[in-house]
């Protein structure tokens, strides 16, 4: 069994000393247990948070512990009711080839799911994050302007496409011309601005002539500062993530934006609400999401892009790339 463990807590950006590959015997499943073999491992920005022991909503990975992660796995043998050899499952196995489970928090996807890896993306946690955050906190109305960054990634791409379905004008923000072209041409956003452009704020303002009604916050940083002056009265801001700041060790250099942020919220009466996907919404919403998204995918109203990295040993670099925007689409590792 190959597994990737947290060797040390990173200071700033993770590097080659952060995660290490180790090998051990394949674990044995006992009575009331099943043996799962990982097929796909999901890479997600929250994993940077699990490397840190700063106070958060989840406990960090221990030093020497297997990195946390959701996988799609195949059941190799099973003594758990409701799971049979050959079934595919969604499981919190972590970054490793094999995992012994008693079925806790494992979802059966059946023997032959059509696109098994999609359970880690558009039909799973990131897709649900976009759906719930946009519709329940963002509350977009037809004709309103919605802005979302990391627009070619699984959350941002889905936010924008759902907002289009709801009749909004949608402006994405992404890193580079290739991602921006994908966001407008394939995903159907009305515009997409490259956050690396010198005149980013001016370009964003030009793309939002009627201001911004919903800013779905994925990144923070320069994008947030560009958005603030454009927010309309009673704008909504679901705070989902701030990947631009995940490697910060203290407060950044430069001017203090605190007064600008709070005075905008006050003057524009902005609703700002953070959320953590699996403890912020009623459980029934997941079923509603699953049905809606399955339908939109079938009808071709939502497009989905994945980047598949080959081999468990490539997973650490895959995560570091993701945190720096060197991914294009939902990152998954093909393990088995
Ligand atoms: P992505 O696959 O989109 O990856 C992150 C992207 O962030 C990168 O590809 C990059 O895209 C962008 N990025 C990185 N640094 C910067 C920067 N300095 N400025 C602007 N953009 C940057 O991630 P996900 O779709 O999986 O997640 C998106 C966000 O949602 C993250 O913040 C994540 O933590 C959050 N999230 C929150 C959840 C919750 O429950 N609250 C659940 C799931 C996700 P580009 O090259 O286009 O800039």
Is 36 near ligand 1, meaning CB less than 6 Å away? no
Residues 6+ apart with CB under 8 A from 34: 75, 76, 77, 78, 79, 80, 83, 100, 101, 102, 103
Q: Give yes or no: residues 12 and 65 share one domain.
A: yes
Is 145 near ligand 1, meaning CB less than 6 Å away? no
Residue 253 pLDDT: 87
Domain that holds residue 35: 2-118+305-334
Residue pair 127/106 in contact (Cβ under 8 Å)? The answer is no
Residue 331 pLDDT: 98
Domain assignment present for 37: yes
Is 277 near ligand 1, meaning CB less than 6 Å away? yes
- What CATH number should be reported for the domain holding residue 44? 3.90.180.10
Cα-to-centroid distance, 34 and ligand 1 (Å):
34
Q: Give yes or no: residues 250 and 186 share one domain.
A: yes
Nearest-CA residue for ligand 1 atom 7 is: 150
From the first residue on, what is the mean pLDDT of each consecutive set of 10 residues in the chain (336 residues)? 97 94 97 98 96 90 97 98 98 98 96 96 97 98 98 98 98 97 98 98 98 98 97 98 91 92 98 95 95 97 97 97 94 95
- The single-letter DSSP state of residue 36 is E
Is 241 near ligand 1, meaning CB less than 6 Å away? yes
Q: Give yes or no: residues 220 and 76 share one domain.
A: no
Is 182 near ligand 1, meaning CB less than 6 Å away? no
Tokens of 129: 């994050």
Count of domains forming the chain: 2
Domain assignment present for 293: no
Q: Give yes or no: residues 266 and 316 share one domain.
A: no
Q: What is the ipTM of this complex?
A: 0.98
- What CATH number should be reported for the domain holding residue 207? 3.40.50.720
Burial of 96 (0-12, 13-18, 19+ CB in 10 A): buried
What span, in angstroms and rounded, lies between the C-alpha atoms of 206 and 225? 15
Is 70 near ligand 1, meaning CB less than 6 Å away? no
What span, in angstroms and rounded, lies between the C-alpha atoms of 243 and 177? 20
Residue 117 pLDDT: 98
Domain assignment present for 269: yes
Domain assignment present for 259: yes
Q: Give yes or no: residues 138 and 238 share one domain.
A: yes
Residue 336 pLDDT: 83
- Pocket mutation for ligand 1, best pick of 150, 172, 324 (most atoms within 8 Å of C-beta): 150
Residue 210 pLDDT: 98
């Amino acid at each position: 069994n190959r597994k990737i463990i947290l060797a040390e807590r990173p200071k700033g950006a993770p590097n080659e000393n952060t995660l290490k590959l180790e090998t051990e015997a394949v674990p044995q499943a006992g009575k009331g247990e099943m043996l799962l073999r990982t097929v796909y491992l999901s890479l997600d920005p929250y994993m940077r948070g699990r490397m840190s022991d700063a106070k958060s909503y989840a406990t960090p990975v221990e030093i020497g512990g297997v990195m946390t992660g959701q996988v799609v796995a195949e059941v190799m043998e099973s003594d758990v009711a409701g799971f049979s050899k050959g079934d595919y499952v969604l499981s919190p196995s972590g970054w490793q080839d094999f995992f012994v489970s008693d079925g806790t928090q494992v979802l059966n996807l059946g023997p032959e799911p059509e696109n098994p890896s999609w359970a880690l993306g558009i039909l799973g946690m990131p897709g649900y994050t976009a759906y719930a955050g946009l519709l329940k906190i963002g509350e977009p109305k037809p004709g309103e302007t919605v802005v979302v960054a990391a627009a070619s990634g699984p959350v941002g791409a889905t936010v924008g496409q759902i907002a289009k379905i709801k009749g909004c004008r949608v402006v994405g923000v992404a890193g580079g011309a290739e991602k921006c072209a994908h966001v407008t041409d394939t995903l159907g956003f009305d515009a997409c601005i490259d956050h690396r452009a010198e005149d980013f704020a001016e370009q964003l303002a030009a793309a939002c002539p009627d201001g911004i009604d919903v800013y779905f916050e994925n990144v923070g940083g320069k994008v947030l500062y560009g958005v603030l002056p454009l927010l309309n009265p009673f704008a909504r801001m679901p705070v989902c993530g701030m990947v631009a700041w995940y490697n910060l060790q203290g407060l950044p250099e430069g001017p203090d934006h605190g007064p600008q942020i709070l005075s905008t919220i006050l003057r524009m009466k902005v609703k700002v609400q953070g959320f953590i996907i699996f403890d912020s919404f009623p459980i029934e919403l997941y079923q509603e999401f699953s049905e809606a998204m399955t339908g939109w995918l079938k009808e071709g109203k939502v497009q989905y892009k994945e980047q598949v990295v080959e081999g468990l040993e490539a997973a650490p670099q895959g995560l570091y790339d993701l945190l720096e925007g060197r991914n294009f689409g939902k990152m998954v590792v093909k393990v088995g």
